[in-house]
Amino acid sequence: MANEKTGCQIPESVNYHFTRQCNYKCGFCFHTAKTSHVLSVEDAKRGLKMLRDSGMQKINFSGGEPFLHKRGKFLGELAKYCKEDLSTPSVSIISNGSLITEKWMQEFGQYVDILGISCDSFDENINEKIGRHARGKNHLETMRKVRTWCLEYGIMFKINSVINAYNVNEDMSENIKELDPIRWKVFQCKKREGENYGEGALRQVEKFLISDDQFNDFLERHADVPQIVPEYSEMMVQSYFIVDEYFRFIDNGANTTSQSILDIGVEAAIKDSGFVEKKYLDRGGRYDWSKKPVCADKDLSW
């Protein structure tokens, strides 16, 4: 969708990876800790306002692990700013969940529409092998605790899973139905040069990769899960507006970045985003993403 006056692509839904730092070590990660840079909260707010003024309707905060920087205070302040000052229709977060506290939910949960937790297996041993794990924490217990808080604080709950060689034969149907997320995004494990394979990469994704046929088998096994939203590795390319820690658009097709929005503005930077609207729509990028009331009598006995 383009602005009728300027002809500029409207950044309707934006993923802001404001930090690359993470307390997990997922072997297939394609946004790795190549820098420790994080913008000041003032500059981050300035960039978010520029995006909102250009038509942004949904902001998704990601990383790295977004709750790691100053233990969630930075994230909470940005979520509050997007809701209170910018009146952004949807604020969402993708996290591994390990650093989320009820105190944070009490203070900032009202500014969040969707909270997604990344979980690749319902076998904790497999999560550990993948690297979806932090010492002293059980990832599955953490996710269930966050799920309970989402119900208590009126936040829509989502699950993201990367389907790879370690979990491709697993049947997650009953666990997903029990947790009842609004969406279950399942991604075919993908590679990105310089991030998880190739020269200068901090991760080596080769042992995690699966074929389209293997991914299809996984999808068929979970065909009766109504919340499933599959994404083949090719579907992810150029179907997201991704902004990195310097507020640059990432073209994950050409593996390039724009100049910073803060320096040249959204209209100039977005030309180098590589974004293709049809791919965004084809992967189901547009959906009902604003907060809904949560039933108080929802069953929490997992």
8 Å CB contact between 59 and 91:
yes
d(CA 33, CA 260): 19
- Do residues 65 and 86 touch, judged by C-beta distance below 8 A? no
- Residue bearing tokens 């096994």: 221
- Is residue 189 annotated as part of the catalytic site, yes or no? no
Which one of the listed residues 22, 82, 150, 189 is annotated catalytic? Answer: 22
Phi, psi of 117 (to 5 degrees): -110, 130
- CA-nearest of 203, 219, 272, 223 to 243 is 272
**Cβ burial 113-125 (10 Å sphere, 16+ → b, else e):** bbbbbbbbbbeee
Residue 180, both tokens: 């009842």
Tell me, yes or no, if 29 is annotated catalytic.
yes
Half-sphere exposure at residue 162, Cβ-oriented, CA atoms within 13 angstroms: 23
* Residue of 198, 189, 217 whose CA lies nearest to 130: 189
Instruction: List the alpha helices (DSSP H) in 63-172.
Output: 73-80, 102-108, 124-130, 139-152
Candidates 9, 51, 4, 32; CA nearest to 260 is 51
Residue 26 annotated as catalytic: yes
Task: For helices 73-80 and 41-53, give the axis angle rounded to 10 degrees.
Answer: 30
User: Of the residues 8, 26, 189, 295, which is catalytic?
Assistant: 26
Q: Which of 8, 29, 150, 295 is catalytic?
A: 29
Residue type, 39: L
Give, in order, the Cα–Cα distances in Å from 6 to each of 52, 115, 265.
16, 34, 13
CA–CA distance, 259 with 249 (Å, rounded to integer)? 8
Which residues are known to be catalytic? 22, 26, 29
